[in-house]
Amino acid sequence: MGFGKVGSEVARRAKGLGMHVIAHDPYAPADRARAIGAELVSFDEAITRADFISLHMPLIPTTNKIFNDESFGKMKTGVRIVNVARGGVIDEDALVRALDSGKVAQAALDVFTVEPPAKDSKLVLHENVTVTPHLGASTVEAQEGVAIEIAEAVVGALKGELAATAVNAPMVPAEVMSELAPYVSLAEKLGRLAVQLVAGETGIKGVKVAYTTTRGPDDLDTRLLRAMVTKGIVEPVSSTFVNLVNADYTAKQRGLRITEERVSHDSATAEAPLESIQVRLSQVQSKFAGAISDGGDIVLEGRVKYGVPHLTLVGPYEVDVSLEGNLILCRQIDQPGMIGKVGNILGQRNVNINFMSVGRTFRGKQAIMAIGVDEEPNKESLDEIGAIPAIEEFVFLEL
């Protein structure tokens, strides 16, 4: 009961013990519960179904004595209760009655309505109650754990890693961060590719990010992904270091108007948080015409496959190339031998190809070849590729 930092940590450990975890917290994001494997339910459903009840809720007017005679009456006979939250959330007289009747088999309490409790407290003296003197985080182990956690968070932030505990950034729980990790990389790389396709001096003004997902608005927090798209667009063309804290401010400073769209994707078996991410740059010129969609925008789309970001759409062309290393895009006439010609040029210059994909609109018409390379080809290699008669344009993109 209460699914914040402590409640979710207890849930994780309970899952490790093979328990089925349900949780009640009107403010808990569904994506955090989903990542841990907990089921969010109503207050009445939680107390009715539970065999063990662990309290981690604040003491506010709506939770004051929320565990009372009526609440205990709805619980299973023999339920066990642990309260390490606030003493006032339990009506202590009602708990004694529930213990005496056997409705509550055992209670473990670290907190009380009045602290310290009276020496003759029926609750403290009850044979089925275990008490501790509001230890909270006041143990040697807890103090050491907090110190280590702070040190690791500072080191991670200085290394440029995302900080889940930053007080001036959106809170992204560790479970959600872990689930979104490959999509974070995909979002940044799509932004990084898109900005390198922009030509001219007009600059980027409008950016639209579309997320195709089976999840509802409450099940997917996209702030982290939006920040990484901003990071990918801004960092290659400036000295600014973009992170979750300053991403929106940086975008505003540079006149970047970033809008987001959630595209519903129906799939009964989909477990991944996202099906795909699309980045669309509007009102810009492109140095690679093949990346322009029918609507005149630069469009790139990608998805995560086996934990690895893949580019799956360039303008109107479907491709499938792993976003590792660097990327060469070639727009060509669709004809035999093109893959071999480009591969031979790169092979002769000792440039290793890690992935290659060709997408076309119609047979014998135009096609796009997307080539992933481990090394950066020199100018002579790229010029030689561009000199192939059937190749209409090409671009080298750094990841």
Give tens-digit pLDDT for 343-375: 888 888 888 888 888 887 667 678 888 888 888
Question: Which pairing describes strands 317-322 and 308-314: parallel, antiparallel, or unpaired?
Answer: antiparallel
pTM of the model: 0.61
- C-alpha distances (whole Å) from 284 to each of 203, 289, 292, 298, 310 are 7, 11, 10, 8, 24
Known catalytic residue at 115: yes
Give the DSSP H/E element, type plus range, for residue 128: none
Average pLDDT over residues 56-79: 92
Mean pLDDT along residues 375-385? 87
Q: What does DSSP say about strands 129-131 and 104-109: parallel, antiparallel, or unpaired? A: parallel
Q: What is the pLDDT of residue 378?
A: 86
The yes-or-no verdict on residue 285 having pLDDT over 60 is: yes
- CA neighbor of 112 nearest in space, from 97, 124, 104: 124
Q: Are 186 and 304 in contact (CB under 8 A)?
A: yes
Q: Output the six-digit token pair for 60.
A: 């506010």
**Which of 115, 127, 141, 201 is an active site residue?**
115
Q: What's the whole-number mean pLDDT along residues 309-327?
A: 88
Q: Which two tokens stand for residue 267?
A: 């799939």
Catalytic residue among 24, 32, 56, 86: 86
pLDDT at 283 over 90: no
Cis peptide bond upstream of 29, omega within 30? no
Say whether 134 is catalytic.
yes
Task: State which H helix or E strand residue 10 sits in.
Answer: helix 5-16
Give percent above pLDDT 70 in the chain: 93
CA separation for the pair 168, 358 (Å, rounded):
44
Give percent above pLDDT 90 in the chain: 37
Structure confidence at residue 270 (pLDDT): 61
Average pLDDT over residues 36-40: 90
pLDDT level of residue 328 (50, 70, 90 thresholds): confident
Q: Closest Cα to residue 339, out of 318, 347, 220, 255?
A: 347
Catalytic residue among 12, 80, 126, 134: 134
Question: What pLDDT does residue 171 have?
Answer: 62
Among 66-75, 97-106, 312-321, the minimum mean pLDDT is found in 312-321
Separation CA 330–CA 343 (nearest Å): 12
- Alpha-carbon distance of 274 to 38, in angstroms, equals 20
Torsion angle, alpha carbons of 42, 45, 49, 51, to 10: 50
Contact assessment for residue 176 and residue 35, using Cβ atoms and an 8 Å cutoff: yes
254 is an active site residue? no
pLDDT-derived band at 162, boundaries 50, 70, 90: low
Least reliable range by pLDDT among 155-164, 203-212, 249-258, 326-335: 155-164
pLDDT at 269 over 60: no
106-107-110 Cα angle (round to 5): 155
Mean pLDDT computed over every residue of the chain = 86
Give 139 or 132, the one with higher predicted confidence.
132
3-class DSSP assignment, residue 169: coil
Dist CA 391 CA 92 (whole Å) = 80
Write the CB contacts of 217 (distance below 8 Å, at least 6 apart in sequence).
262
- Give the separation between CA 92 and CA 86, rounded to whole angstroms: 12
Give the residue with greater pLDDT, 244 vs 210.
210
More confident residue, 365 or 22: 22
Residue with tokens 């799956």: 312
**Crossing angle of helices 223-234/174-196, nearest 10°?**
30
